[in-house]
Amino acid sequence: MAWGYMGKVPNRGDFITHNVPPQARDLLLEWCQATLAVSREQLGDNWLEAYLTSPIWHFAASPGAFMESGLIGTMIPSVDRVGRHFPFLVLAEYNGSALEAWRQPDWFSAMEDCVLAVLDDGWDEATWYQRLGAIEIPEAQGPRLKWPSEEGNMMLPGEAREDDWLHALLSRRQGLALWWTQGSAYVESATLLTDGLPRVGQFAAMMVGQWENHGWQQGVMTE
């Protein structure tokens, strides 16, 4: 498995793509086009500022969430040379669970600086792709705690830790995807749990926050 990328960059005149599985490319292309169109309608005159200041989003989709294999990656707002706005995404197939990828921060920490480099005027695709290839795709190991497939009362080993429980429970949820960000001027740091791709009508919140206004159920931390 290796990283691929798709989208628009400022020093190119049109859409670029490399090493992205066709199913993932078509799915994400359609989703991005739809989210841009609907968010324009929702945000009106505020859309351009919201888009250009929207945060870096990382994502991890368990197998079955987006397509048969899992996917991990990063998405940033971008634009092509003639001013057409479209995100730029870096992604790779991944056969582990979404939670496994989320719990291994090395790849997405390294990805932030790497993916932002495509916005530079002097971006060189070949040189940048070598840099991208140096970012290791996280290893899929599976949950340490194997959760019983049947419902009912159960006994769990005493050495099972809290994160083992969480990993095992979320691994049972088919089609789970996680999206997370360190935030931006308008969006606080957050992690999203979705069944597949976020709904088109909810994407505006990923640009401006205001989660409940765009149909997201919102968890609240208590004191």
Q: Does residue 72 lie in a domain region?
A: yes
Q: Does residue 149 lie in a domain region?
A: no
Q: Does residue 222 lie in a domain region?
A: no
Q: How far is CA 64 from CA 51, 68, 72, in A?
A: 29, 5, 13
CATH code at position 102: 3.40.1730.10
Confidence of residue 99 (pLDDT cuts 50, 70, 90): confident
Question: Domain limits at 176?
Answer: 4-144+159-214
What percent of the chain has pLDDT above 70? Answer: 85
Tokens describing residue 154: 């159960």
pLDDT digits (tens, 9 = 90+) for 178-201: 999 999 999 999 999 999 999 999
Q: What's the whole-model pTM score?
A: 0.89
Q: Does residue 151 lie in a domain region?
A: no
Residue 140 has what pLDDT?
Answer: 80
Tell me how crowded residue 119 is: count the other CB atoms within 10 A of its CB: 15
Total number of domains constituting the chain: 1
Q: Does residue 35 lie in a domain region?
A: yes
Q: Does residue 150 lie in a domain region?
A: no
Confidence of residue 221 (pLDDT cuts 50, 70, 90): confident
Which among 49, 41, 50, 47 is positioned nearest to 209, based on CA atoms?
50
Tokens describing residue 91: 């992604």
Q: Does residue 193 lie in a domain region?
A: yes
Q: CA-CA distance, 47 to 52, in Å (whole number)?
A: 9
pLDDT digits (tens, 9 = 90+) for 115-161: 999 999 999 999 999 999 999 999 887 666 666 666 666 666 666 66
Q: Does residue 176 lie in a domain region?
A: yes
